[in-house]
Structure 1
Amino acid sequence: MRPSTLFTRVARGKWLHAAALLLAGCASEPPKSLVTPFPSAKPQPQPQTTTPPAAQQPMRGVWLATVSRLDWPPVNSVNVSSATQRIQMQQQALTAKLDRLKSLGINTVFFQVKPDGTALWRSNILPWSDMLTGKIGDDPGYDPLAFMLEEAHKRGMKVHAWFNPYRVAVNTRPSTLTELNRTLSLHPASVYVLHRDWIRTAGDRLVLDPGIPDARDWITSIVAEVVRRYPVDGVQFDDYFYAETADSPLNDSQTYRTWGQGFASKADWRRHNTQLLIEQVSRTIKQINPQVAFGVSPAGVWRNLSHDAAGSDTRGAAAYDEAFADTRRWVQQGLLDYIAPQLYWPFARQAARYDVLAHWWAQVVKPTHARLYIGVALYKVGEPSRTEPDWTVEDGVPELQKQIDLNEATPGIDGTILFRENYLNQPQTQPAVRYLQRRWGS
C-alpha cells in the first residue's frame, strides 16, 4: 500500500500509491549518518506455523484499495436508491474480482479496511466508511470485511487487512469538515470530533499526530478489534507514517515540546514515535493471535548510500529521512513477519534500480525470520514515461517479466504484490495481464 517528501501522485484523475517517490539527486547536505545497529535484545521468536516456511507457496498478491473507491466498491453503487440493489452491486463486484484474481493465480488480497478515519467492518471504534454508502456512519447493511474473508477463503485465497494508520480524511474541504462534525451524534463518532486535539493537517489531509501516545494507543486498539473479531490472515500498514509535504507540513511543534524531551532532534523523536507504534501493534497482534502475520509496505528506499553506509546504492527519497520510519530496524528487531517494499521503478532507472533495491532488501531480511515480498508497479505498465520508457517497450511486458523473474529466482524474496487491482482491468495493461495469466494462472 502503499511517499525529498513521500507523496501520492495523481494520474488519469486517480490517486496513486504513496510510494511513487519523487526521485532527486542529493545536492543538499546529507543528514548525520545514523547506521542502525542490530539490537542487543533477542529478536522475537517466529511464531510456529503448521506449514514450514520453505514449503509455503510464494506470495502472489494484489493491493485492493477502497480509498476514493479506487478499486472497490463501484462508484455507481452508492448512487442507487435501493439499499438491496447497492449491496448486490457491491457484493457481485467483489466476487467477480476475486474470481478474476484466482484465475490469474493471485493467492493473497491486501484489502484496505481503514482508508481514513472510517471502517469497512462493523466497528465499535470507527464509524462506517462513506465509501460504502456515500455518508460517513451509515450502516451499509452488511459487513464488507466479513464478506471478503468468507468469499476469499472459499476460493483458497488469503486476506490481509490493510490499514492507513494516521489518515483521518483525504482532504480538508469545508464539506468534509461538515460531514465529520455531523458524526458527533453517532455511536461511534469520528475521531475528528471525539479527539480534536489529536488532529493535524499534513499533505493537505487531516491526520492524527503520531507524537501523541493516546493516538498511537487508539490506532492499536483498532487493529486489535479486527484481529480479535475476524479471521484475517495478516495485517498491513502502508507507508503513511509522517506523510507531510513541503507545502503542507505537519505542525507538531507543541507535541514535540511536550513529548520530545531527551531527543537530540525532532527527526530522532519522530522516528521514535513510529517505532513505538510498530512495537505495540506487533506485540498486540501476537498476544491476540500469533498466527496473524504483521507487515509493513514502506517506500522502497530505506536510506541512500550517500547518507548512510548501510543504505542502498540509490538516490531516492528515503523512508528513514522523509517518513521517519526506520523500516530496516523493524526487520532486524523481529517486529515484522514480513516487509513489502514498494519498488516502483524499472531496472534502467539509475536513481533507484529495481534489481539494486531488491537485492539490498534480500540482504536485510537474510539474518531474520521476516519474509520479503516486493511491491511491483502494475500501474506504470503500458503508461508512457519520459524518465522510465521501459514501461511501454513491448507494452511493458519484458520489464514486468524481468522483475518477476528476479523475485522468483532470488533467495530471500518470497513473492510479488501488484499495485493495484483495478489496473488489471485497464486497456494499457492487458498484454501484461495475459502474460500473468500464462505465468501464474490456472
Structure 2
Amino acid sequence: MIISLRGVSPVTQVKKIGTLVAAALLVVSCSSKPPSSLVTPSGNQSQPSVKSPQNSEPMRGVWLATVSRLDWPPVNTVNISSPAIRINKQKEALTAKLDNLKQLGINTVFFQVKPDGTALWPSKILPWSDTLTGKIGENPGYDPLQFMLDEAHKRGMKVHAWFNPYRVTTNTKPSTVAELNRTLSQQPASIFVLHRDWIRTSSDRFVLDPGIPEVRDWITSIVAEVVTNYPVDGVQFDDYFYTETPGSALNDNQTWRTYGQQYASKADWRRHNTQSLIEQVSHTIKQLKPGVEFGVSPAGVWRNRSHDPLGSDTRGAAAYDESFADTRQWVKLGLLDYIAPQLYWPFARDAARYDVLAKWWADVVKPTNTRLYIGVALYKVGEPSRKEPDWAINGGVPELSKQIDLNESIPGINGTILFREDNLNQPQTRQAVNYLKTRWGH
C-alpha cells in the first residue's frame, strides 16, 4: 500500500517508487561498475570471518552525534544566509573538535551519518539531512562524511560511520510531516512518502517496521552505499532496534500476522527480525570490503539473571526483552567485529553495577573473535544525581578513573568509547577532561 500522492500522476508515482527500489538494491559506485546487488542474503552464506588484525593501541573512542545537532553542526550555523559562510563555519567547528579530540588522545570517532531517515552524504537513497541547512533534502554544498574522513585520517584518527537503522524522525509534529511530504518532488524523496506502508509510530516518532523484509533490504542498501563509496574504517548501529514506550507502542500486528505466524511468540519473531538485519548487514559489508569493521552499541544489559541464568546479576532494562535484540547471540554467531555495550552506570549502582556488567561482557566475548569496547557515560560526569552521586564527587574523576582502570585491566576489554563529544566541552566535565589529557593525551 503506497499512500495517495495528490497532484502526481500514477505513472510518475510508479516511476518514483521504481527509482527508489532500484537505488535501494543497486548502489551506483562513483568509480566502477557495482556488482549486480550489494545486498547479501543472510540465509545462504557461511558466517564471515570477522576478526581483522587489531592495533596494539586500545580503542579510545568518542561518539559524535548529529541527531538534533547534539554535537555538530553548531545550531547557529544552520540558518546563515550565505552558503559559503555556513559551510566554512561548519567545517571550522568540525576541525576544531577533531583537534581537541586528537589532543585528548582519542583515536576513533563514531560519526553519526544517518541520524534518522536522512543522510550526511550525497545519497542516492536518502534525502539530505536537515541538520545541515534546516531543510530536509537541501544540498548543503559539501559532503560532510567525506570532509570528516579526510580531516580525521589526516590526524591519524579512524572514523566509524554510525547509523540509526530504523528511526525516520524524532517527532510526529504536523510541521515534520509537511516537510517530509515536500520531499516528494525531490530526488531522492523521503521513504516516508515513498513507502508510507513501511512507517509506524513508536516512542512518539516515525520509525520503519523491522518486520518487513524489504525494510531490512533497504537499510542494508544504505550501509552498502557508504561502504562502497567511502573509506570508512567501520560501521556501527546504535541501540535503537525495536523502540517503544508504554504510551507509544509499535503497532506491528499486521506485519506479525503476515510474516510471523511460524514463530512461537511475537517476541521471538521480533528477535528474528533484528538478527536478520544484523546478519544481512554483516555479510554485505564483508562481501564489499572485508577490512571494514561492523559493530553494534547496544543497551548495557542483555538479560537479567532473574529472567535467564545466562544473564548478568542486574535489574536493568534488558535489550533482549525491551528492544528484541539478542546481542549475546550475535556475538556467539560471529556476526560482529566488535560490540560496545552502553554501561552508563557507576560502580555503586546496585541495579546495574559497572564492574558486574563489564566482567559479564568480557566473559561473553572470551570464546569468540568479537572485540569488546565499553561505552562510558561521559554525559553524567560532573552532574549531581540522587541515585548516582559518585558522578559528582571531585568532578567525577574518581568514578571515571575506576571505570577506565577496569577497562584497561581486564584482558577481554579492548577499549573505551565516551558518550558523547560535546560533553567534553562543558564546564562540569573540566576536571575529567584534564584527567583524560594526562592519561591518554598527546
TM-score, shorter chain, exceeding 0.5? yes
Aligned: 1:135 with 2:139? no
Q: What corresponds to 1:23 in structure 2?
A: none
Query: Corresponding residue for 1:184?
Result: 184
1:32 — aligned with what?
none
Q: Give CA deviations for 1:308-341 in whole Å, capped at 9, x if unaligned.
A: 0100000000000000000000000000000000
What are the equivalent positions in structure 2 for 1:95-134 lying under 5 Å apart?
95-134=95-134
Amino acid in structure 2 at the alignment position of 1:176:
T
1:89-121 Cα deviation digits (max 9, x unpaired): 000000000000000000000000000000000
State the SS of the aligned residue for 1:160.
strand
Q: Deviation per CA, 1:355-403, whole angstroms, max 9, x where unpaired?
A: 0000000000000110000000000001010000000111110000000
**What does 1:145-224 correspond to in 2, within 5 Å?**
145-224=145-224
* Structure-1 residue corresponding to 2:275: 275
**Matched residue, 2:396:** 396
Question: Structure 2 counterpart of 1:175, which letter?
Answer: S
Instruction: Find the counterpart in structure 2 of residue 33 from structure 1.
Output: none
Separation (CA, whole Å) in 1 of partners of 2:413 and 2:107: 16
Q: CA deviation at 1:42?
A: 7.7
C-alpha contact 1:44 1:333 (8 A) present in aligned 2: no
Q: Is 1:235 aligned with 2:235?
A: yes
Cα distance, 1:144–1:230 mapped onto 2, change above 3 Å: same
Deviations 1:228-271 (A, max 9, x none): 00000000000000011101000000000000111111000000
Native 8 Å contact 1:407 1:413 kept in 2? yes
Contact 2:390/2:399, CA 8 A, preserved across alignment? yes
- How far apart, in 2, do the equivalents of 1:334 and 1:171 lie? 35
Structure 1 residue 43: deviation in Å?
Answer: 5.1
Query: Structure 1 residues 42 and 347, CA, compared in 2 at 3 Å: closer, same or farther?
Result: farther
For 1:309-348, list aligned pairs within 5 A: 309-348=309-348
Q: What stretches of structure 1 move > 4 A for 4+ residues in a row?
A: none
Q: Which amino acid aligns with 1:93?
A: A
Change in 2 beyond 3 A, CA 1:42/1:215: closer
Match of 1:46 in 2: 50
Per-residue deviation, residues 179-209 of structure 1 (Å, max 9, x unmatched): 0000000000000000000000000000000
3-state SS in 1 of match to 2:218:
helix
The unaligned stretches of length 5 or more in structure 1 are: 1-40
SS of alignment partner, residue 153 of structure 1? helix
Give the Cα separation in 2 of the matches to 1:295 and 1:327: 11
Instruction: Indicate the residue corresponding to 1:9 in structure 2.
Output: none
Other-structure match for 2:29: none
Instruction: Give the match for residue 415 of structure 1.
Output: 415
Structure-2 separation of matches of 1:81 and 1:232: 32
Q: Distance in 2 between matches of 1:224 and 1:438?
A: 39
Give the match's secondary structure for 1:79: coil
AA at the equivalent of 2:396 = G
SS in 2 for 1:112: strand
Secondary structure in 2 matching 1:239: coil
Please, what is the CA RMSD of the aligned residues?
A: 1.0
Find the counterpart in structure 1 of residue 33 from structure 2: none
**Distance (Å, rounded) in 2 between the aligned partners of 1:151 and 1:42:** 37
Identity within the alignment, %: 77
Q: Using CA pairs under 8 Å that are at least 6 residues apart, name the structure with larger relative contact order, 1 or 2.
A: 1
For residues 213 and 79 of structure 1, the distance between their equivalents in structure 2, rounded to whole angstroms, comes to 39
CA distance in 2, matches of 1:42, 1:306: 34
In 2, Cα distance between equivalents of 1:45 and 1:216 = 22
Taking the aligned partners of 1:212 and 1:124, their CA distance within structure 2 comes to 22
Give 1:56 deviation, angstroms. 2.6
Residue 150 of structure 1 aligns to a residue whose secondary structure is: helix
One-letter code aligned to 1:394: N
1:291 aligns with 2:291: yes
Q: Which amino acid aligns with 1:361?
A: W
Helix, strand or coil at the partner of 2:78 = helix
Q: Which amino acid aligns with 1:265?
A: S
Counterpart for residue 264 of structure 1 = 264
Deviations 1:25-51, CA, capped at 9 Å, x for gaps: xxxxxxxxxxxxxxxx9853235x4xx
Aligned partner of 2:58 in structure 1 is 58
Conserved 8 A contact 2:126-2:189: yes
Give TM-score, length-normalised by structure 1. Answer: 0.89
Q: Note if contact 1:235-1:294 (Cα within 8 Å) is conserved in structure 2.
A: yes
Q: Which amino acid aligns with 1:428?
A: Q
Query: Where does residue 38 of structure 2 map in the other structure?
Result: none
Q: What is the letter of the counterpart of residue 50 of structure 2?
A: Q
Aligned equivalents of 2:175 and 2:120: distance in 1? Answer: 22
Give 1:292 deviation, angstroms: 0.3
SS in 1 for 2:373: strand
Cα distance in 1 for residues equivalent to 2:48 and 2:150: 31
Describe the SS at the equivalent of 2:301: coil
Q: Do the aligned partners of 1:295 and 1:338 also contact (CA within 8 Å) in 2?
A: yes
- C-alpha contact 2:50 2:335 (8 A) present in aligned 1: no
Structure 2 counterpart SS, 1:341:
coil
Equivalent residue, structure 2, for 1:21: none
State the distance in 2 between where 1:44 and 1:140 align.
37
State how far apart, in whole Å, the 2-side matches of 1:42 and 1:174 are.
46
Contact 1:63 1:418 in 2 (8 A): yes
**Residues 113-153 of structure 1, C-alpha deviations (whole Å, 9 max, x = no match):** 00000000010000000000000000000000000000000
Distance change (3 Å), C-alpha of 1:193 and 1:43: closer
* Aligned partner letter, 1:352: A
Q: Is the 8 A contact 1:375 1:419 kept in 2?
A: yes
Q: Which one-letter code corresponds to 1:411 in the other structure? A: P
What residue in structure 2 maps to residue 354 of structure 1?
Answer: 354
Aligned residue-pair number: 398
